[in-house]
Structure 1
């Protein structure tokens, strides 16, 4: 038992030694771990210091680089200011250039407008030139026509001179026949009105109508008797009014050359006798009636109006030429003879300014009959 206890005691003693060893080992292990941790910490500190040293070096480098960059930045700022100043100047130049461009564009537009206007003017001038060329051609044609007319006028003048010579011979003959009691007017037929033969200068023995229908004593030679709306057509051409037409016992016109020859050989007075549709009578008497030759358009001369023997505002115009539908000698824009349907010494046309009615020779009166009579003074 004692042996067993001794054995157990020995074993316990051995176990106690082992525990102490284990404890010591554990303490050593812990110390070793602490040492390793410390070593690791030291190593970390060493590494950290190295890193700090490295960072310090890097920081120094960074500071150096930063200083260099700051200096560069300052330089760049100076450059930037210069660039900004230059940019402002360039911007102002650009604004000026834009203004200049706008002026150029405005001038260009003005030039385009002027070009268009010049083109229009050119076209107008071209048309004008064309018209002038046409006028020149027309003038050339007109010149040739005038030359032909001049030659014809010369031929007519020669014929007129021959006619004048014949007329003078006829006048001499009339003067000789005057002594044989052949009348030159209607004065011998005062008590015997009607159709009679007289000697008309340059025409010889001619039938005329002698009348005493006026309120003035004496016999008058009728040169025109017209019934408006009658059977005779007074809308005749120039040649017909020159030759005369109609019938002496009804309506007629004696002929412009005969009237010219009679009134140019001696002074005559004119008596105009109008009968209106309502039966009213209007008259006019002039003391120096004469018409010119054909070259002057058979222009009208009247002399003074005898107011004591006149009634109404009969429209006769001094110095007016005779007009027909084919020979417009009036002062109106239209052909009055064509509008009124009869030849006359027109100045203006039918409408009376006071009444607005067709005048038919007298303002506001619708004329039924017209009689024109002459006699020598």
Structure 2
């Protein structure tokens, strides 16, 4: 048995243990790009070590006074903020369950209070030219570039959340956009999005409200408000397009500096190098 197979086997066994934690078990399907086994071992070892660390932290919290303050019925935290409030300060991958249903893996930004990432673009290894079903279930590498999945985003935001766009420009400067109320509705609405501009803070003009109340579109499902096909015409990155986008091409082609590349529109296409989209509970929510 070679080394690559051994490390893959260990990681798969650990993943199976994690998703069967608690009273019930779940059938989980892969949502990452295919990686050649010849190059996979080091990446899987990194993930193994990360998950092992998170599980030790989770176990420590569970043992505190023999109790846990996590709120979901399966014993999993509902989001990254809840993990943060229970004392964890380490960025990384964690299992959460926002509604007591099947848990899933997310990446948590713990530097500023426990934000749950729903999208990240850091390189061009993961293609975001994806059909509807893959945008629903999610794809990519949770520890790299990924889209969490519309169904998971709906579960996290259905009661309203904050949303924060953290963007790095090609010259090394950074921009941000922060909204206090953001919601993605259920599948029957084609994952319609709502955003409230009250209290908006950002280093760029307020742009996301242009997409308020719009359904999600992909290259194989046109739900936008334009006579053309915004997603298909913008190189296939799924989004809640209006006619077509302002703050809305963050799932475009990575590294492309013109129309169709990762960026936003304000009197022209403004390209960005990297982006993270993250959410947490609204202010004042118990």
TM bracket (short chain): 0.5 to 0.7
C-alpha spacing 1:234/1:202, structure 2 compared with 1 (3 Å): farther
Q: Which residue of 1 aligns with 2:113?
A: 218
Secondary structure at the residue paired with 1:282? strand
Q: Which residue of 2 aligns with 1:310?
A: 202
Q: Which residue of 2 aligns with 1:368?
A: 273
Rounded Cα–Cα distance in structure 1 between residues aligned with 2:72 and 2:101: 14
TM-score, normalization: structure 2?
0.61
Rounded Cα–Cα distance in structure 2 between residues aligned with 1:284 and 1:175: 30
CA contact (8 A) 2:246 2:265 kept: no
RMSD over aligned Cα atoms: 2.6
Residues 32-111 of structure 1: pairs in structure 2 closer than 5 A: none
Rounded Cα–Cα distance in structure 2 between residues aligned with 1:350 and 1:291: 17
Rounded Cα–Cα distance in structure 1 between residues aligned with 2:100 and 2:216: 21
- Of the three residues 280, 294, 310, the one matched with 2:187 is 294
* Aligned-residue offset at 1:290: 0.6
C-alpha spacing 1:346/1:326, structure 2 compared with 1 (3 Å): same
C-alpha spacing 1:373/1:305, structure 2 compared with 1 (3 Å): farther
* Aligned-residue offset at 1:344: 0.8
How many matched pairs?
193
Rounded Cα–Cα distance in structure 1 between residues aligned with 2:238 and 2:100: 24
Rounded Cα–Cα distance in structure 2 between residues aligned with 1:202 and 1:340: 37
Rounded Cα–Cα distance in structure 2 between residues aligned with 1:301 and 1:205: 25
Residues 245-264 of structure 1: pairs in structure 2 closer than 5 A: 245-264=139-158
- Structure 1 unaligned regions, length at least 5: 1-165, 167-173
Structure with the largest fraction of strand = 2
Secondary structure at the residue paired with 2:155? helix
Residues 234-253 of structure 1: pairs in structure 2 closer than 5 A: 234-253=128-147
2:82 is the alignment partner of 1:184: no
Q: Which residue of 1 aligns with 2:105?
A: 207
CA contact (8 A) 1:284 1:306 kept: no
Rounded Cα–Cα distance in structure 2 between residues aligned with 1:290 and 1:191: 26
Rounded Cα–Cα distance in structure 2 between residues aligned with 1:202 and 1:244: 20
Secondary structure at the residue paired with 2:238? coil
Rounded Cα–Cα distance in structure 2 between residues aligned with 1:367 and 1:324: 21
Q: Which residue of 1 aligns with 2:217?
A: 323
Rounded Cα–Cα distance in structure 2 between residues aligned with 1:349 and 1:232: 24
Structure with the largest fraction of helix = 1
Rounded Cα–Cα distance in structure 1 between residues aligned with 2:198 and 2:142: 28
C-alpha spacing 1:336/1:203, structure 2 compared with 1 (3 Å): farther
Deviations 1:59-97 (A, max 9, x none): xxxxxxxxxxxxxxxxxxxxxxxxxxxxxxxxxxxxxxx
Question: Comparing both chains, which one has the higher relative contact order based on Cα–Cα distances under 8 Å and sequence gaps of 6 or more?
Answer: 2
